[in-house]
């Protein structure tokens, strides 16, 4: 049986609670973008440019901040703690087109998605993403 990517690089056994918040956000950023693109592709196939254009409102710090605020009420206690850790982290730089508050909220959301990914909680990632996408559309 082949190893998963996480197993190959030793992340399968990593305790996500011991991974730094910014590292969780780093992997969560990629996971978030992949899941958004997958959902959008599932909804409507289109040209590369069209898909890219439809992705932007969700993957921007502003869109992620809106999603984070909308999802706060449905997070478990554990998820909320991970989100707060990410939100309160001190990144080396800020967003170009977002306020500091929006950037921190987006980092918290990305940290949460990274945490869930490392826990193999893809079902929860999908659930939160689908529940949160309408907030980014506002």
Residue 50 lies in a domain: yes
pTM: 0.87
Active site residue 123: no
Tens-of-pLDDT digits for all 138 residues of the chain?
A: 566 666 666 665 556 777 899 999 999 999 999 999 998 888 776 666 678 788 888 999 999 999 999 999 999 999 999 999 999 998 777 778 899 999 999 999 999 999 999 998 999 999 999 999 999 988
Q: Alpha-carbon distance 101 to 98, whole Å?
A: 8
By the 8 A CB rule, do 43 and 101 touch? no
* Annotated catalytic residue, options 15, 29, 50, 120: 29
* CATH code assigned at 71: 1.10.1520.10
Q: How many domains does the chain have?
A: 1
Residue at 23 is within a domain: yes
Q: Residue 44 sits in which domain range?
A: 19-136
Contact assessment for residue 117 and residue 125, using Cβ atoms and an 8 Å cutoff: yes
CA–CA distance, 119 with 78 (Å, rounded to integer): 12
């Amino acid at each position: 049986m082949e190893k998963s990517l996480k197993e190959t690089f030793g992340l399968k056994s990593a305790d996500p609670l011991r991974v730094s918040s910014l590292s969780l956000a780093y992997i969560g950023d990629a996971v978030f973008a992949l899941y958004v693109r997958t959902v959008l592709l599932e909804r409507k196939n289109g040209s590369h440019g069209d898909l890219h254009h439809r992705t932007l409102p969700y993957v921007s710090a502003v869109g992620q901040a809106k999603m984070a605020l909308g999802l706060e009420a449905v997070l478990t206690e554990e998820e909320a703690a991970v989100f707060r850790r990410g939100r309160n982290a001190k990144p080396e730089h800020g967003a170009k087109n977002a306020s500091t508050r929006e950037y921190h909220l987006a980092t918290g959301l990305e940290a949460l998605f990274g945490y869930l990914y490392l826990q193999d909680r893809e079902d929860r990632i999908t659930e939160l993403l689908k529940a949160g996408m309408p907030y980014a559309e506002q």
